[in-house]
Structure 1
Amino acid sequence: GRRPAAGAARGRWWTTVRRPAVATVAAVVLVGGAGVAAANDWLPIFQTERVDPVEVTSTDLVQVPDLSAYGDLQITQEPDPEQVADAAAARERTGLAVPEVAELPEGVTGEPAYQAAGIVSATFTFSADKAAQAAAAEGEVLPPVPAGIDGSRLRLQAGPGVAAVWSQPTGVPTLVVARVGAPRVDSSGVPFETVRDYLLSLPGLPPGLADQLADLSADRGTLPLPVPAELVTTSEADVDGADATVLTSRNGLFAGVVWVEDGVMTGVAGSLSADELLSVARALR
């Protein structure tokens, strides 16, 4: 379709970043890796090597605070997504090749529309004062803040990304094949284990979600993928030697497959069965 105005796109991006579900993702990324941050310098502490589903209920989404409750989030680089003429144009803009579908599943026809987006980068600065105010608003007391946490910074980055989208005449997507630079995090100021453990102790994070994150955070390189438990079921599959997560809507109308290889995340999704999408995924060129 028509490319949205830049202001509208930015507005949607900000809304997405500040939405509780995405705040959960952001907080999850922060606690997903391990390592020690170098004082006064950025140190890579987390690079996504695989994804693993984390069940999130609608109650969890209501309870999880906005990320800005814990500090200041600044978008330092916006992805500026746009529709481009073809796969070659997408590659020229991003440096990523759009995965080629060997054979379209039954019911998927025509040529795809191509989307390209740049790198998105954000810096999160933890504020003990903000976190204390957020805790007080919930009638809780902020746990003692470890030395060095207040004012510590984390830089989150993902992208660039490309996608091919096949749609019905009505505009409803039937198949999406996407590739994106997998999320990574740099830190500055304190040992990352300290940040991870403290974030997991903050009031407002539902205990069940905190337990799942704690289990995953010991596994270096695993990016937790929040999944709405009431709507989606998950399973595991192999895609050419990579561990993939398969998501299937409980009403059977939608499915997706996502995996990470060499720092790049690939996803195949659409109004098809999981088996059909796995066949597409395994035959990508």
Structure 2
Amino acid sequence: MRHPSDGTLRRLLDEPAGIADADREHVAGCPVCRAGLAAAGEDAGLIETLLRQEPEVDVDAGWRRLSVNLDTPEGRSATVARPGRWRTGWRSPVIAAAAAVALLTGATAAAATDWLPIFRTERVAPVTVSPADLVKLPDLSAYGDVAFTERADVREVPDADAARAASGLGVPRLAGPPRGVSGAPTYHVGNRASAVFTFSAAKAARTAQALGRPLPPPPPGLDGSHFRFTAGPGVAVVWPSASGAPALTAGRVHAPTVDSSGIAFATARDYMLSLPGLPESVAAQLRTFTADGTTLPLIVKSGQETNATADVNGAPAIVLSLRDGTMSAVFWVSDGVVTAVAGTMSADEVLAVARGLRWNP
């Protein structure tokens, strides 16, 4: 039997009752389609990820955001289509990128008692990952410990004024209703969120052993070093379709930053790229990133998504789209703020929306 289309997988998230039994059964038994369903779930959560780092998330799961090993259609629907849930995780396009940058970009040495700013987001760039490599990406917790120090507390607020007051950001509003959007928007805000990752040579050694590969000797000072990730506050506006399902989301968040304590980051970058578990295709792309600590990677799933560069009112942007054209998103950075617009529309349409956004000051 042929694989269901990307559009069918996307519909399985939003309207599972509308999917034919044959397609359900195929997805349940097909690893390729389960990976595709996971990818569709990631696309549906692009903007939510900008805001959400839920305190109840098991940090030992690390970059996990969506398992591709669910065994039943019912289980998958319960996980990826729960109304009102803002999906999250360290494998999400934005949060995983911030974590990768923290470990892979360059900086000078920091005094052990001080936090040294080593990463400030000024631009975004794509990192292409195959579905097979995506599910192989290692948990951050495989190499150390993660502890949340500030919680996002994502919540709905009554209107744009309340969203602006809670986030400190201008709130996106549409110049005019695009195709597929119908009805009044809802407003969501999140506080600043931060977490500290502590590298552990012992954990890294156990991970390497489980993979059947030797652990390269850690450079002096890396064991026990801390890296602090911070993002937010943020705001998102969600416009519904005629059916009530989300049709368009525009989100803004104070851009991710990373601070370091205890080691020169050029050393950490080279070492982390050599660790077992990181697919070489991903490591090779990260090696091409400049070491100035300003470029935030965005994960692009090869064979399922396309990406292109664009301009949004003078700011360089990255446009991601599902290959069947059913969903697109555009990301850009300006004045220390990451903005993303995503919707069930073509790349040209979502880019036109992004360029036409207005802001409640």
User: TM-score, normalised to structure 1's length?
Assistant: 0.92
- Does structure 1 residue 53 correspond to structure 2 residue 126? yes
**Partner amino acid, structure 2, of 1:38:** A
Which position in structure 2 is the counterpart of 1:11?
Answer: 56
Which has the bigger relative contact order, CA under 8 A and spacing at least 6?
A: 1
- Shift of residue 212 of structure 1? 0.4
Query: Are the aligned partners of 1:58 and 1:228 in contact in 2 as well (CA < 8 Å)?
Result: yes
- Does structure 1 residue 34 correspond to structure 2 residue 106? yes
Deviates most, 34-43 or 155-164: 34-43
Query: Are the aligned partners of 1:167 and 1:174 in contact in 2 as well (CA < 8 Å)?
Result: yes
Give the SS at the match of 1:216. Answer: coil
CA RMSD, Structure 1 to Structure 2 (Å)? 2.0
Which position in structure 2 is the counterpart of 1:111?
Answer: 184
Instruction: Give, in whole Å, the separation in 1 of the partners of 2:223 and 2:104.
Output: 20
Which position in structure 1 is the counterpart of 2:286?
Answer: 213
- Shift of residue 13 of structure 1? 7.6
Q: CA offsets, 1:247-284, max 9 Å, x none? A: 11012110011100111000111001111111111122
Give the SS at the match of 2:91. Answer: helix
- Shift of residue 33 of structure 1? 3.3
Instruction: Give, in whole Å, the separation in 1 of the partners of 2:206 and 2:337.
Output: 38
Query: Are the aligned partners of 2:222 and 2:263 in contact in 1 as well (CA < 8 Å)?
Result: yes
Which position in structure 2 is the counterpart of 1:3?
Answer: none
- Shift of residue 173 of structure 1? 1.1
2:214 to 125, 134, 141: 141
Give the SS at the match of 1:209. Answer: helix
Query: Are the aligned partners of 1:32 and 1:224 in contact in 2 as well (CA < 8 Å)?
Result: no
Query: Are the aligned partners of 2:59 and 2:146 in contact in 1 as well (CA < 8 Å)?
Result: no
Note the residue ranges of structure 1 that are not aligned, 5 or more in a row: 1-8
Instruction: Give, in whole Å, the separation in 2 of the partners of 1:39 and 1:70.
Output: 22
Instruction: Give, in whole Å, the separation in 1 of the partners of 2:61 and 2:125.
Output: 21
**Partner amino acid, structure 1, of 2:291:** A
Give the SS at the match of 1:252. Answer: coil
Give the SS at the match of 1:83. Answer: strand
1:168 to 241, 258, 261: 241
Which position in structure 2 is the counterpart of 1:92?
Answer: 165
- Shift of residue 16 of structure 1? 7.8
Deviates most, 16-25 or 175-184: 16-25
Query: Are the aligned partners of 2:62 and 2:139 in contact in 1 as well (CA < 8 Å)?
Result: no
Q: 1:135 to 1:24 in 2, by over 3 A?
A: farther
Which position in structure 1 is the counterpart of 2:30?
Answer: none
Instruction: Give, in whole Å, the separation in 1 of the partners of 2:223 and 2:301.
Output: 32
**Partner amino acid, structure 1, of 2:136:** Q
1:268 to 341, 345, 351: 341
| Identity %, equivalent residues | 52
- Does structure 1 residue 21 correspond to structure 2 residue 88? no
Query: Are the aligned partners of 1:32 and 1:221 in contact in 2 as well (CA < 8 Å)?
Result: no
Instruction: Give, in whole Å, the separation in 1 of the partners of 2:352 and 2:238.
Output: 17
- Does structure 1 residue 191 correspond to structure 2 residue 258? no
- Shift of residue 37 of structure 1? 3.5
User: TM-score, normalised to structure 2's length?
Assistant: 0.73
Give the SS at the match of 1:190. Answer: coil
Query: Are the aligned partners of 1:166 and 1:175 in contact in 2 as well (CA < 8 Å)?
Result: yes
Query: Are the aligned partners of 1:119 and 1:159 in contact in 2 as well (CA < 8 Å)?
Result: yes
- Does structure 1 residue 178 correspond to structure 2 residue 251? yes
Give the SS at the match of 1:79. Answer: coil
- Does structure 1 residue 122 correspond to structure 2 residue 167? no
Give the SS at the match of 2:221. Answer: coil
Instruction: Give, in whole Å, the separation in 2 of the partners of 1:81 and 1:13.
Output: 17
